[in-house]
Chain A
Amino acid sequence: MSKTRFIIIKEIRHILRDPRSLVIAIVMPILMTLLYGYAVNLDTKNIKLAVVDEDKSVHSRALVNSFFQSGYFIPSLSAPQINDLEGVLRAGHAHAVLVLRRGFSEAVRTQEPYQVGLVVDGSDANRAAAATNYSNVLLFDFIRRNVSAPTVRPWVWISPRVLYNPDLRSPDFFVPGLIAIILMMISALLTSITIVREKETGTMEQMMTAPVTPKQIIMGKAIPYIGIAFIDGLLVILFAVFHFRVPFEGSYLLLAFFGVIYVTAALSIGVVISTLVRSQLAAMMTALMVTVMPSVMLSGFIFEVKNMPLPLQYLSMIIPARHFIVILRGVMLKGVGAPALWRETLALVLLTSVLLGIAAKRFKLKLG
């Protein structure tokens, strides 16, 4: 153990001697939290809508107003030509064009059939779907309020209630998940790079001739990074709670416990990568490909796993971040305890032990 301590001290000196890297390792997570907290919002709004109003009546103006007051649409700055509605869409000046030909007001009064036109830029499928959905709802709503004797009766109403994040704030969803991403980045990426760097500069061989075991080398190199990872995790939580006002309903201790398991898994991946590659560039690209990218894209951090094709859903099961993110959101937003998270706990513990086993074996093999 005491030998491990020396390597830890050596590694900490290495880190401290390069203050720029240390500052980056601390500042980066904060910047990332700010970026994700402010920028990531998948709730489609502010759809740029251009309007062609040939009816020019009280009713047509009221309908157009209700579109812009809904918060989903904003007026496009350029007016479309009636014979070239596509022009504004092609140039990206508008995402949709609402066309009210003559007779709208008449139709509202007499209940004659009438078609409100909507031309949508479909290149972003998600936004196009939102634009048509919102338009339908807004139009229904307008008719209900303005047609004197609506023919459609009776009514079924939906009375919606939202739990856990009633204001539907995006940061509450994205910032907890970010903790998993940052822990993975720091632990897997930094460990693999720092080990490979010793290989690249040839100091790894020197260390191996010294009377220390491979286990001690690895522990000594990994422990300082566990420290950095935890500082980073804590920073993100502080920012989440105090800056973005993300609720923390559950137990800090429970989260820290899961954090240790998760970081162990991440470090193991880092060690395995370091045994596979010879250059820092290769270590970094491998780490990005097998840890960071899947943790961001396949974990449910941004995109829901259940929407993916089945093979990807199965693949996501062996990604530690997928399970840890469920735990993070459960503990932070819903205040759930360990019993509700037994599936994720089981998966995480299983993954971690397998990864740790592989890492130990590979490293011994490499050195022996």
Chain B
Amino acid sequence: MIQTILALIVKEFHQIRRDRFTLRLIFLAPIMQMMVLAYAISTDVKYVYTAVYDYDQRELSREFVRSMSVGNYFIPSQSPVPLLESEENLRTGDKNVNLIIPNDFSEGLRNSKPVMIGFVADGANANSASIATGYANLIAFQFSERLSRSAFPVVLRQRILYNPEGESVYHIVPGIVAVLLTMVTTLLTAMAIVRERERGTLEQLMVSPIPIPALILGKIIPFAALGYIEFSIALALGVAWFKIPFVGSWPLLYGLSLLFVLTTLGVGMLISTMTNTQQQAMFFTWFFTIYAILMSGFFIPIENMPFFVQKLTYLNPLRYFMIIVRGIMMKGAGLESLRTEVLALVIFAVSMFSFSWMRFQKRAK
């Protein structure tokens, strides 16, 4: 039995190796994705292009505009068009915000009166608009404080743990590691099995004296191995290139990954039993991957979602694995803080793997 499995694994590796282009893709694609994603994914709101209409034109109003530009959140500049056409700025997308300072700005401030500043934002990007408004409010608060040379007696003293520099890369890169493992293991398993079915070679294997369990193991072990190799490459890139602080335990991470890989291999096998052509398998895998990524908290916080969508995320194995990878890497979390997630993954691994195994065997008969 073991020898049969070994022979099948060797066969599978020969097949993978013979298609040089695909092989290169299997290794290049994740590295490229890692590099692009890590730099592209940033939900920080910065560089808000601001058209300034300053009808005061005095020292104080200029000072206010200057304080807006601190920290690169706002990029203020004189508006190219008159106020009556200021909507055009937002329509064409040249500017994101129109800022209107009334002509009694300095005078009002000197007489200790409250002054209003107009702030018109392009809401097409809902997230940026609301965050930009928040920033503008804070800047106005601080400007008032400075002007009156007194501070609020009660202040907020914040302490940020785990990622005090506020680097979004530290959050995203561990996420990419988890996403890559999902994509590679699910996709390659499903496609490899369906390809044999499409070509008719799967039937040949099935009528041969190879027992079905050996056939399955011979098919999935190579892809589990490939998945682990890519997982390691991604982790190495994360630590060496992106300088992600790895504070947790490596053996724990690799051990828990096995639970997750069993789940995704199960999904891959399940897809292969539901489809006849590679095109169909691709669609199913693609849909599973999108669901898994979007609903995992990878870059969209689950708490932002409507309540019924939040419930759907509990059915997503990647959701738990995402917490595990990030927890171990960034917070040094141990088994006891990850109890719930580990339990969920055990349930997923056992049920998913045995269900698809049974389906595969049934279909083989």
Task: Report A's interface with B, CB cutoff 8 A.
Answer: 18, 20-21, 24-25, 28, 31-32, 35-36, 38-48, 74, 86, 89-92, 104, 107-108, 111-130, 132-137, 139-140, 143, 147, 150-170, 172-173, 189-190, 193-194, 197, 276-282, 284-286, 288-289, 293-294, 297-298, 302-304, 306-309, 312, 326, 329-330, 333-334, 336, 340
Is A125 a contact of B136 with CB atoms below 8 Å?
no
Given A38-B306, A156-B140, A163-B121, CB of A280 within 8 Å of CB of B155: no
List, in ascending order, chain B residues with CB within 8 A of A39's CB. Answer: 294-295, 300, 305, 309
B125-133, B201-209, B215-223 - interface stretch: B125-133
Contact B154 A45 (CB under 8 A): no
Contacts of A306 in B (CB 8 A): 46-47
- Given A121-B162, A293-B36, CB of A336 within 8 Å of CB of B90: no
Interface size on B, residues (CB 8 A): 115
Pair A118/B36 contact, Cβ less than 8 Å: no
Q: Which of B19, B92, B130 is within 8 Å of A43, CB to CB?
A: B130
Interface string of B67-103 (1 = CB under 8 A from A): 0000000000000000000010011110000000000
Q: A43-B126, A107-B154, A336-B92 are known contacts. Are A154 and B109 too (CB-CB below 8 A)?
A: yes
Contact B131 A123 (CB under 8 A): no
Indicate if the CB atoms of B153 and A111 lie closer than 8 Å: yes
- Are A127 and B154 in touch, CB under 8 angstroms? no
Please list 19 pairs of residues, one from A and one from B, whose beta carbons are closer than 8 Å in the complex, sorted by A's number. A20-B276, A39-B300, A41-B127, A44-B304, A47-B303, A92-B327, A114-B154, A123-B170, A123-B330, A125-B171, A133-B131, A147-B154, A153-B144, A157-B140, A279-B19, A281-B195, A285-B29, A304-B45, A306-B46
| Contact in complex: A308, B309 (CB < 8 Å) | no
Q: Which residues from chain A contact B33 at a C-beta distance below 8 Å?
A: 289, 293
Contact between A90 and B283, CB atoms less than 8 A apart: no
Is there contact, CB below 8 Å, between B22 and A285?
yes
Bound form: Cα–Cα A166–B129 in Å:
10
Give the residues in chain B near A132, CB-CB below 8 Å. 156, 158, 160
Over the window 105-141 of chain B, the binary record of Cβ atoms lying under 8 Å from chain A Cβ atoms (1 yes, 0 no) is 0001101111111111111111111110111111011
Q: Is the CB of A118 within 8 A of B158?
A: yes
Min C-beta distance of B340 to chain A, whole Å: 9
**Residue B362 lies at the interface, judged by CB distance under 8 Å to chain A:** no
CB interface residues, B 307-348, toward A, < 8 Å: 309, 323, 326-327, 330-333, 337
CA distance A83 to B286 in the complex (A): 47
Roughly how many angstroms separate A128 CA and B258 CA in the complex, as a whole number?
31
Instruction: Please give the distance in Å from B147's CB to the nearest CB on chain A.
Output: 7
Q: Are B326 and A123 in contact (CB under 8 A)?
A: yes
Which residue of chain B lies nearest to A159 when distances are taken between CB atoms in the complex? B116
Does B151 reach chain A (CB closer than 8 Å)?
A: yes
Whether B6 sits at the interface, judged by CB under 8 Å, is no
Indicate if the CB atoms of A116 and B155 lie closer than 8 Å. Answer: yes
Asked, given contacts A280-B278, A286-B25, A307-B44, whether A151 binds B153 with beta carbons under 8 Å apart, the answer is yes
Contact A303 B42 (CB under 8 A): yes
CB pair B304–A162 under 8 Å, yes or no, is no
Q: Type the 1/0 row for B1-41, where 1 means its CB is closer than 8 Å to any CB of A.
A: 00000000000000000010110011001001100110111
